[in-house]
Amino acid sequence: MSYSIRFPPKQSLTFGGLTERICLITVLAFALPGCRSILAQTVAPSAAAPPAAVEAIVSMRDPATGAAAVPTAARKKSYDVTVPGGKEWTDSGLAVVGGEHLTITATGSLSLADGRAVTPDGLDRGWKDLLRQFPLNQANTAALIGRVSDLGASVPFLIGAKADAVMPTSGHLYLRANLTDDLSGTGNFDVTLRPASTAAVSTQRPATAVPAPVSTELSPQLFATIPRRVGDQAGAPGDMVNFGLIGTQSQIEAAFKNAGWVAVDKNTQTAVLHGLLSTLSHQAYVEMPMSTLYLFNRPQDLSFARADPLTVAAERHHLRVWKSPELVNGQPLWVGSATHDIGFERDQRNNGTTHKIDPNIDLERKFLVDSFDATGAFSSAAYVTPSDALRTARTATGGSFFSDGRIAVMELKPDLQ
**Is 399 exposed, middle or buried, given 0-12, 13-18 or 19+ CB atoms closer than 10 A?**
buried
Q: Is the confidence at residue 410, as pLDDT, over 60?
A: yes
For residues 251 and 389, state if they share a domain. yes
For residues 285 and 404, state if they share a domain. yes
Burial 316-342 (b: 16+ CB within 10 A, else e): bbbbbbbbbebebeebbbbbbbbbbbb
158: β partners? 145
Banded model confidence at residue 168, pLDDT cuts 50, 70, 90: confident
Q: Compute the distance between CA of residue 225 and CA of residue 239 in angstroms, rounded to an integer.
A: 17
For residues 143 and 25, state if they share a domain. no
- The count of domains in the chain is 2
pLDDT in tens, 13-22: 333 443 333 3
Collapsed DSSP state (helix, strand, coil) of residue 371:
helix
Q: Compute the distance between CA of residue 375 and CA of residue 59 in angstroms, rounded to an integer.
A: 11
Q: Is the confidence at residue 253, as pLDDT, over 90?
A: yes
- Domain assignment of residue 157, given as a range: 79-195
For residues 370 and 228, state if they share a domain. yes
Banded model confidence at residue 417, pLDDT cuts 50, 70, 90: confident
Last residue of a domain, one of 146, 166, 195: 195
For residues 105 and 223, state if they share a domain. no
The residue that leads in pLDDT, 267 or 363, is: 363
Q: Is the confidence at residue 226, as pLDDT, over 60?
A: yes
141: β partners? 123
pLDDT in tens, 275-332: 444 544 545 555 577 889 999 999 999 999 986 544 444 578 889 999 999 999 999 9
In a domain, 387, yes or no: yes
**Is 101 exposed, middle or buried, given 0-12, 13-18 or 19+ CB atoms closer than 10 A?**
middle
For residues 190 and 214, state if they share a domain. no
The residue that leads in pLDDT, 87 or 93, is: 93
pTM of the prediction?
0.75
For residues 155 and 98, state if they share a domain. yes
In a domain, 67, yes or no: no
Q: What CATH code is carried by the domain that includes residue 121?
A: 2.60.120.430
In a domain, 72, yes or no: no
For residues 160 and 85, state if they share a domain. yes
Q: Compute the distance between CA of residue 370 and CA of residue 338 in angstroms, rounded to an integer.
A: 13
For residues 25 and 164, state if they share a domain. no
Collapsed DSSP state (helix, strand, coil) of residue 75:
coil
Banded model confidence at residue 137, pLDDT cuts 50, 70, 90: confident
